[in-house]
Structure 1
């Protein structure tokens, strides 16, 4: 996944600016597309910088745990296949 160009602080600042003015004006001022502002607004509406960081941390941990579970399930499946062969 491609890493974004804007930090958490910058995204929150752009969203606050978009709330104070319009999305079009904030997009021009900060050099982003209007669509980016609307996506960020849907994703980070009403969050502070610490909330955004916590959300990213939880998502990363969730991804790591899902990967661990998938690997464990694969190992269990392989063991079941080996057990079924009755050497």
Structure 2
């Protein structure tokens, strides 16, 4: 059989057709052949979408999409909030310098750079 993806509406329509065919006395094997799906697929569909109507399935799909969109927005907002709160946020240093950072960067002007021989541990060797 050709592998295809079915929409929820197509699945519900095929399940409705299969229910009618089984009521007419067809076996599950015959029904699966007529609706062009495998038996495991048929049984999975029945388990997942058994009594659902097409309109309800369509609404469920819309709600799932909206839920995914809202989760994405929430994650982005939390990320923005985490960035604003993170220590060492360099994007905000220029806007309002933190008092502890005001003197930094001037150390090299008052003290010459250390060489390896000047290092305190190097003297012990």
TM-score class, shorter: 0.7 to 0.9
Q: Does residue 52 of the first structure (1) align with residue 54 of the second (2)?
A: no
Which ranges of 4 or more aligned residues in structure 1 deviate by more than 4 Å?
none
C-alpha deviation, 1:79, in angstroms: 0.8
Q: Does residue 37 of the first structure (1) align with residue 58 of the second (2)?
A: no
- Return the index of the structure with the highest Cα Rg: 2
Deviations 1:40-73 (A, max 9, x none): 2222121111011001000111111111111111
> 1:5 — aligned with what?
5
Secondary structure in 2 matching 1:41 = helix
TM-score by length of 1: 0.77
Aligned pairs, how many? 82
TM-score by length of 2: 0.56
Tell me, which stretches of 5 or more residues in structure 1 are unaligned? none
Tell me, which stretches of 5 or more residues in structure 2 are unaligned? 89-97, 102-125
